[in-house]
A and B are shown apart, each in its own frame.
Chain A
């Protein structure tokens, strides 16, 4: 079995960058806290050895505050990792070393990767690696993960630690006389056969009031030992509400002793570029409008570059492949049904989805630029007042921003929220955030009805999604999830020049998911629908008499009040629950079959009016999330109930929204 290395560190210290650099993987990296919420695994080779490396979520402490802290702590305690690489942000060394002290207390074999030393240098922070290493008693290796510097040395240090026994006894952090005495008392009663964890660590955790550790201890002691333990525990932990804080102070005192001679930073006072940018971007009045303006500029650029410049590229390619495929099938005298499947199912359905790739590429490159620059944390900051007004806090906006890419990671990102109420609401309102898979739907309808106002329509849909999410946040926080508004506490990372590598990687993250879905879910849905559209035998394909037509006609009346009560639209919405791109794929296919060579755009112009197009867009923005999102909601909330709830309440909201748009529009005479 290969040896296991765990990567542990504070949020936004460069763990994932280091992970990618070591393993050659391509995981999403962002310059804001909380991008990694899942444990990720990869392999890398050092010499003759293949090592497994596990990237854990960024944490400040190994307490039991949030899900991600528990994940990291359990993994280290399990004894699985042979070595822990503790990534330490060299520009913020004191706070990062706080976590290090806890790793050392746990008896883990630690190598410190002193990361971003280049940035520390440019900020005139001088670091004495040798002194740090001596004082901590562990190897310290300077690295610049983004430039792949120091990786060999880091791997070397990690591997050479593997053979050694842990050096538990050498590390002894003092919390001051009175606490040390208490620790010693407790240590004696928990130092028993049944408990495998370092007794000193257990004792400190108990004094910190850690309930998980307490339960673990109580579960593994014999009744005699338990009685003994309870007596001592009550004695030492009584009247000590400040004890946990004194322990934190003790760790920081140790950190200070470590860094006092090894780290020198210039006295502050110089306005950095970050300060100057923040004056503007977090301004009390301009902050929010600027956020809106930046997002609008993103959409405007997306259309300018993606549509006008590159738009024809893929569309031409799809058309070319379609003709070539049809020619080939003709030449081999393939049966008619196969030719129809290729033309309508593959090219009309899957191909239509692919045509929107240039826009998606541009959009996510621009979003990647924002993300890598450090702006996203500011967006959460300027949204705090707005979020507070609906009973949430600014940090809840972060999972929502992630949802702009895809709701699946968006729902997962809610894990970083410590408060159960915030977390549940962030999960349930996430699907209203317009995800990448909905973009082809918008683009198809924009091309058919609003070619001149593309960016505006798209921006409005995104804003509408945010507004509905906020409104539902308000409703949920005053009904199902009552509770105080939790505190806003967020680190604002320094602005950085985005790197091409990260921007491209984040774009590819979204685009590859899009391509993968086109090749799997969309392909299956389209094939299935194609079969249903041609059955029962003898019926006119894509006619209202086909099974597909009948199913559609059955659902269609529900949507009549919203103005799009035709069976094609109903089938499209229905298949969109499998994956949102399937809406366009389905429409492309059912309309392609009606008449030879008919374009989706002109078919839409025939079946919709500008008003019903708008109500249909509102419906697709808000209605039932895709199955992947529903499954994630189930997993993250731990209950199928919430997934079912999400499916139905979003449908109801989408329907009400679409009906409102259509009816109000009609009254205003827009229909």
Chain B
């Protein structure tokens, strides 16, 4: 399974959330905001500063520290 941290995905790339390795409460919060296992995400912006992710047609900005800990399965 090709799992990459969200920060290493390029703009426009799609993938599914495989695992989040952040702290207990941050992981939980991300799950509740819809980044649960298998959620489809698309990278809208990833250069400097927080990564912007498209999630079910909405946009969420994630700090780089957090984005690094979100592992994305890029195999479709």
Which A residues form the contact surface with B (CB < 8 A)?
60-61, 63, 65, 91-92, 94-95, 98, 123, 125, 241, 244-245, 248-249, 252, 265, 268, 274-275, 278-279, 282, 284, 287, 377, 381-382, 384-385, 388, 393-394, 418, 485, 487-492, 494
Contact = CB atoms under 8 A, between A and B. Distances in A.
B29 A65 contact: yes
Interface string B35-74: 0111100101101111010111111111101100000000
A669 B42 CA distance: 58
B75 interface: no
Contacts of B5: none
A491 B36 contact: no
Nearest to B12: A269
B47 A284 contact: yes
B32 A60 contact: yes
A491 B31 contact: no
A61 B31 CA distance: 10
A381 B32 contact: no
Nearest to B55: A95
Contact of B60 (A268, A274, A382, A489): A489
17 contacts: A91-B58, A94-B34, A95-B58, A241-B24, A248-B32, A252-B39, A381-B49, A381-B52, A381-B61, A385-B48, A394-B61, A487-B65, A487-B66, A491-B33, A491-B60, A491-B61, A494-B58
B57 A278 contact: no
B57 A489 contact: no
Given A95-B56, A268-B57, A487-B63, A284 B49 contact: yes
B66 A249 contact: no
B13 interface: no
Contact of A492 (B31, B37, B60): B60
A287 B30 CA distance: 26
B53 to A, nearest CB: 10
The 4 closest A-B pairs by CB, nearest first: A488-B63, A284-B48, A248-B31, A487-B66
Contact of A249 (B30, B31, B42, B48): B31
Given A252-B36, A384-B49, A487-B22, 14 more contacts: A60-B32, A60-B33, A65-B28, A92-B58, A248-B31, A252-B34, A274-B59, A282-B45, A381-B50, A384-B63, A394-B50, A489-B29, A489-B62, A490-B60
A65 B30 CA distance: 12
A313 to B, nearest CB: 42
Nearest to A385: B49
B27 A492 contact: no
A94 B58 CA distance: 11
B52 to A, nearest CB: 7
Contact of B63 (A60, A94, A393): A393
Interface residues of B, number: 36
Contacts of B59: 274, 278, 491-492, 494
B63 A489 contact: yes
A245 B28 contact: yes
A492 B54 CA distance: 10
A380 to B, nearest CB: 8
A488 B50 contact: yes
A213 B40 CA distance: 32
Nearest to A386: B49
A374 to B, nearest CB: 10
Given A381-B61, A393-B63, A489-B66, A278 B56 contact: no
B49 A63 contact: no
A462 to B, nearest CB: 22
A212 B61 CA distance: 30
Given A381-B49, A489-B63, A492-B60, A245 B34 contact: no
A411 B36 CA distance: 32
Pick from A94, A241, A252, A487 the residue with the most CB of B within 10 Å.
Answer: A487
Interface string B9-23: 000000000000010
Contacts of B56: 92, 94-95, 265
Given A92-B58, A123-B57, A394-B63, A489 B33 contact: yes
A282 B37 CA distance: 28
A63 B63 contact: no
B70 to A, nearest CB: 11
Contacts of A388: 63
Contacts of A275: 44
Contact of B27 (A245, A249, A394): A245
A123 B61 CA distance: 21
B76 interface: no
Nearest to B63: A488
Nearest to B69: A487
A491 B27 CA distance: 16
A249 B52 CA distance: 23
Contacts of A284: 47-49
Nearest to B47: A284
Contacts of A252: 34, 36, 39
A448 to B, nearest CB: 42
A492 B61 contact: yes
B65 to A, nearest CB: 6
Contacts of A381: 49-50, 52, 61
B52 A282 contact: yes
A199 B11 CA distance: 46
A492 B63 contact: no
Contacts of A249: 31, 36-38
Contacts of B66: 487-489
A65 B57 CA distance: 25
B30 A63 contact: no
Contacts of A123: 57
A420 to B, nearest CB: 12
Contacts of A91: 57-58
A492 B57 contact: no
Contact of A98 (B27, B32, B58): B32
Contacts of A61: 32
Which of B25, B31, B33, B50 has the most chain A CB within a 10 Å cutoff?
A: B50
Contacts of B61: 377, 381, 384, 394, 488-492
A382 B49 contact: yes
Nearest to A246: B37
A268 B29 CA distance: 25
B26 to A, nearest CB: 5
A244 B28 contact: yes
Contacts of B57: 91-92, 123, 125, 265, 268
